[in-house]
Amino acid sequence: MRYALKTGLLSFDATRVSANDVGYPIDVAIFKAGSWQIVEQRFDYEDLKHITESWAEMLRQNVKDLNDEWMNALYI
C-alpha cells in the first residue's frame, strides 16, 4: 500500500505540473487492515511540498545523467 500511495502521489504530481485544472488538495481513503474501517486523510500542498520538490530535483539530475551519445548524429 505504501508503494501504491507513493506512485499515486508521483502520478498526481506529474499531472498537476502539466495540467492547469489539477491541483491540491489530495484526498486519500484506505481500508484499515483487518477491518472495514476507512481511514481518510486530506493532504494540502504544504504537507507534500518537500516530497514533490525532492522528486523534481531527482528528475532533473537523472535527465542530466542520462546517456546522450544517441544525439551525436545530430551534431555532425
Q: What is the mean pLDDT of each run of 10 residues along the chain (76 residues)?
A: 93 91 94 91 96 94 95 89
Count up the domains in the chain and report the number: 1
**What does the block give as the cell for 39?**
481511514
pLDDT in the model for residue 33? 85
pTM of structure: 0.75
Residue 40 has phi, psi (to 5 degrees) of: -120, 145
CB burial of residue 58 (10 Å; 0-12, 13-18, 19+): exposed
Angle at 52 (CA atoms; ends 43, 57), nearest 5 degrees: 170
User: 51 lies in which domain range?
Assistant: 2-75
For the chain, report the end-to-end CA distance as a whole number of angstroms. 49
